[in-house]
Amino acid sequence: LWQYLQKMLNQVCDRWQEKDQGIWEMRGNEQHFVYSKVMCWVALDRGLRLAEKRSFPAPRERWLQVRDKIYREVMELGWNESKQSFTQAYGSDQLDASVLIMPMVFFLSPNDPKMLKTLDT
């Protein structure tokens, strides 16, 4: 099972920057959906935790670097300054309830100022 998970997490590292149709499988052009990016972060974060807890062999440095890069990108490109909210996709004005999962998966603290502003929106 661990070998399969390693392959999957390496695929996340290789493909997280690709556009997709999002959780809602939107028709039209693929986009960089915030929820999709957060789920890539979650996959790598949980893989790192599992590898550490069970002392499994893993490319920890790679996974850590990609996980942190995803975090920085979501915080910068997933945030819409004029809306004062995380939005559905990078560069979008569309609000999306799926971003409210961020605190539940420990991407952000529920008390993070950007999360609180997103809730207020």
Count of beta carbons in the 10 Å neighbourhood of residue 96: 19
Kindly report the pTM of this predicted structure. 0.96
24, pLDDT greater than 90:
no
42-82 per-position pLDDT tens digit: 999 999 999 999 999 999 999 999 999 999 999 999 999 99
User: How many independent structural domains does the chain possess?
Assistant: 1
Residue 7: both structure tokens together: 């392959």
Range of the domain at 47: 2-120
Residue 21: both structure tokens together: 């149709």
Distance CA 22, CA 35 (A): 7
Residue 86: both structure tokens together: 């995380």
Hey, which residues does 20 pair with through a beta bridge? 31
What's the sign of the alpha-carbon dihedral 85, 89, 95, 99? negative
Distance CA 93, CA 54 (A): 42
